[in-house]
Amino acid sequence: MAKPKIECVVDARAEIGEGPVWDERRRILFWVDIGGRMLHCFNPSSGDDRVVSLPEEIGCVALRRDGGGLIAAMKSGFARLDPTVGGLEYLHDPEADRPGNRFNDGACDTFGRLWAGTMKMDETRAEPVGALYRFAADGACARIVDGMWTPNGLAFSPDGRTMYLSDSHPSVRTIWAFDYDPDDGVMGNRRTFVDTHALAGRPDGGAVDADGCYWMAGVGGWQLVRFTPGGAVDRIIDMPVEKPTKIAFGGVKLDVMYVTSIGRGYAREARARQPQAGGLFAIEAGVAGLPANRFGA
């Protein structure tokens, strides 16, 4: 297989680049810088990357079915977000009793519910205080999984009946698969999909392609890894940065892999090896994805 073309399309030097979501209607890629408290709006046709500053950390965003802006998982909970001016309308804070946490990764199911996880901001705290939440269009919010370190890797199979979830913490490094009922939003039959201890990177953001294969951004490992639906390693793409964080399929044919990355926390020598760390990358790898699931009834 030919080596894929990898290009840094936005040399953003983001602190924690994350959460890319392709809007196939507007042909814009939304992505976030969690530490930098920014929403990025990248237009590949013009190369413009418009930045919207926000008042607090933003973990992830989801497109809305009605086209009216975005739904964001902010440090202070779920909110409507106007990407043109950065206006926020807070809807629900499920962790008002956990002020040391923030939201991290998230994804919508095929029914339009947003699933998102929280994690501690102080990484020196030695307890798993993160959780996984399900937030519906009617405002109903439920804590589904508790006691997580760094929930990540949320994605759904093409038919919506398999849900993927990972924990990136070095002591866990596991991706799970669940049977999922998209009608009721219920997950069950939790099982290990991949134990990543033998791989170079830890499991960060996840995505599922049109073939039903699961892609893992291997944070700390300089790699993206594709797994078959059975959990076998199918393909590895070497990245020019140590800490890729999440993949989104975009472009007119959904055949461009957009990958975010982390730009902070490197010693001088490590930074010199990856001058574009924190950038947004576009990869032509001969693989197509699916439109992102949208939030709303």
Token code pair at residue 73: 């998982």
266 and 274 Cβ atoms separated by less than 8 Å:
yes
Residue indicated by tokens 């339009």: 112
Does 11 fall in a domain? yes
Q: Does some domain include residue 291?
A: no
Distances (CA, A) of 207 to 48, 155, 177: 25, 6, 13
Q: Could you tell me the sign of the dihedral formed by the alpha carbons of 144, 187, 206, 290, in that order?
A: negative
Quote the CA–CA distance of 19 and 245 in Å, as a whole number. Answer: 8
Residue 293 belongs to some domain of the structure: no
Number of domains within the chain: 1
Give residue for tokens 């894929």.
Answer: 4
Identify whether 296 is part of a domain: no
Q: Residue 152 is encoded by which pair of tokens? A: 């990540």
Residue 292 lies in a domain: no
Residue 290 within a domain: no
The alpha carbon of 202 is separated from its chain's Cα centroid by a whole number of angstroms, namely 14
8 Å CB contact between 215 and 206: yes
**What letters, b where the CB count within 10 A reaches 16 and e where it falls short, cover 134-144?**
bbbbeeebeee
pTM of model > 0.95: yes
* Cα dihedral value 224, 230, 234, 238, nearest 10: 10
Range of the domain at 259: 5-284
Residue 289 falls inside a structural domain: no
Q: Report which of 28, 4, 34 is spatially closest to residue 12, judged by C-alpha positions.
A: 34
Q: In the annotation, is 204 catalytic? A: yes
Given the structure tokens 């798993």, which residue do they identify? 128
Tell me the mean pLDDT per 10 residues along the chain, length 297.
91 98 97 98 98 98 93 98 95 96 98 98 86 97 98 98 98 98 97 98 98 98 98 98 98 98 94 97 97 96
As beta bridge partners, residue 237 has 224
For residue 248, is it within any domain? yes
**CA distances in angstroms from 171 to 135, 161, 201, 265, listed in the order given:** 28, 28, 13, 20
Report the length, in residues, of the chain. Answer: 297
CATH number of the domain to which 76 belongs = 2.120.10.30
Catalytic residue chosen out of the listed positions 23, 109, 167, 204: 204
pLDDT of 1 reads: 66
